[in-house]
Structure 1
């Protein structure tokens, strides 16, 4: 991973790796599936049939039509939904937290220190959709996150660099961006790009788009696109992410994140 904006990174790499290995046992964090492309199944072949053979804007439009008009849930329903989508494979009473990778009791959710809460990966201020049913409750970009780490991330764009986040080894932040741990970099990228396909400004919400900037503020943009694309390539979809996609599709929203099923479509559009 690039560390061009991080000071003295080379000297702490091994130390950070050791801390991560100690803090997050292998059983708590699903391992990446490896560099092989995710292959669609016959059922997803049919689902994506209208998009086949297209590229660029035509592909983006076709995917929007496929994933649009999903079943919406309320913001209160998100708690239970995340208990299913992000369940710890090693402990059905727990969820895996996005940024720290720690396993925490499903019941320990709320707003207090030590709780987990509902992280909007596409920051809800980037388009001013709040917690409205639709982008504010879309499970394809909502993940359980430690309350304190979520607060540190705030509404920052994503980019490489910064200082290591206290209590969350492998995550970095500075004044205008946040870098998640390596194991979920691709997850973050695919969630951001899904939102850009799903919300095109035709349903009363803002037209969400990625760009190559940080400090986007309240504009309906999220960056940094070039870095997100790099993260997508370097951290391909794993079993945990594919399982989330299946649960969201079959039990909740009845739509899918196309960039988990067909990773090559990221480059075909952007």
Structure 2
């Protein structure tokens, strides 16, 4: 079953890459065109001798500390600026007027953002109550873990930890939920895991924010923890970065925060730290 899932992920990644390659330049804004061009030529190894030079070769706490220092050098966005950023970072490769919703996988008009039924809003993958950071500039506005999602689906996820199991729900796209956990659809399980691991490295108790950590529990409530570590590690392995996730990382680096999610570039660093 694992082998089948991995082959399916690779097939999705290849298909997405083909669609991205076919995007017509006139349909993109100047910012989007620049970011997409950069993605086409950049690879993770391009940054090993520059951006990641102080982290390469390290493991464990040393690697985590080095990556924290590297990715903490970032431009911070206001919460209102996140709307426009997500319109670019999560643009539908097949329709430049739409964004892809994280958990449901639906494509929805960029203009339908807000708080009403049928709108999309800003999902905090690391639930903001897990660390009490709200939407103030900092972890609450870090677009490495903020994604577009249907208003109702966002409410279904709430602040639940991540784990396998549960029941499906309307517009869930294959995502599942139960009383204390949420399982995203297969195609973005690795994306979710890598966003969580990014947050645990980026926010270490400095900058006036809580020390965010991944643990082995669910139902963490308002504590600055999110689980379930073993499941998130498995999702990182089963669903490697695809073209959409890699492009997103590049756009954030080139055009917005100017920092990277190291686990998109080097998913093997998850095991090296945890």
With the length of structure 2 as denominator, give the TM-score of the two structures: 0.85
Gaps of 5+ in 1: 3-29
Shift of 1:33: 4.9
CA–CA distance in structure 1, aligned partners of residues 141 and 259 of structure 2: 14
Where do 4+ consecutive residues of structure 1 move more than 3 Å?
A: none
Shift of 1:44: 4.5
Shift of 1:78: 0.3
Question: 2:131 pairs with 119, 122, 127, which one?
Answer: 127
Whether 2:145 is the aligned partner of 1:164: answer no
Question: 3-state DSSP class of the match of 1:117?
Answer: strand
The root-mean-square deviation of aligned C-alpha atoms, in Å, is: 1.6
Question: 3-state DSSP class of the match of 1:263?
Answer: coil
Gaps of 5+ in 2: 3-10, 16-41
Change beyond 3 A, Cα 1:177–1:32: same
1:31 corresponding residue in structure 2:
12
Matches within 5 A, 1:167-186: 167-186=171-190
Whether 2:148 is the aligned partner of 1:153: answer no
Q: 1:155-188: CA deviations, max 9, x gaps?
A: 0000000111222231100000000000000000
Q: How many residues align?
A: 240
Q: 1:23-43: CA deviations, max 9, x gaps?
A: xxxxxxx92259xxx962323
CA–CA distance in structure 1, aligned partners of residues 173 and 136 of structure 2: 32
Matches within 5 A, 1:23-172: 31-33=12-14, 40-172=44-176
Question: 2:221 pairs with 200, 217, 220, which one?
Answer: 217
Q: 1:188-241: CA deviations, max 9, x gaps?
A: 000000000000001100000000100000000000010000000000000000
Asked whether the equivalents of residues 32 and 235 of structure 1 are also in contact (C-alpha less than 8 Å), the reply is no
Question: 3-state DSSP class of the match of 1:144?
Answer: strand
1:18 corresponding residue in structure 2:
none
Question: 3-state DSSP class of the match of 1:243?
Answer: helix
Asked whether the equivalents of residues 213 and 223 of structure 1 are also in contact (C-alpha less than 8 Å), the reply is yes
With the length of structure 1 as denominator, give the TM-score of the two structures: 0.86
Question: 3-state DSSP class of the match of 1:57?
Answer: helix
1:199 corresponding residue in structure 2:
203
CA–CA distance in structure 1, aligned partners of residues 43 and 269 of structure 2: 12
1:255 corresponding residue in structure 2:
259
Question: 3-state DSSP class of the match of 1:139?
Answer: coil
Shift of 1:70: 1.1
CA–CA distance in structure 2, aligned partners of residues 43 and 55 of structure 1: 18
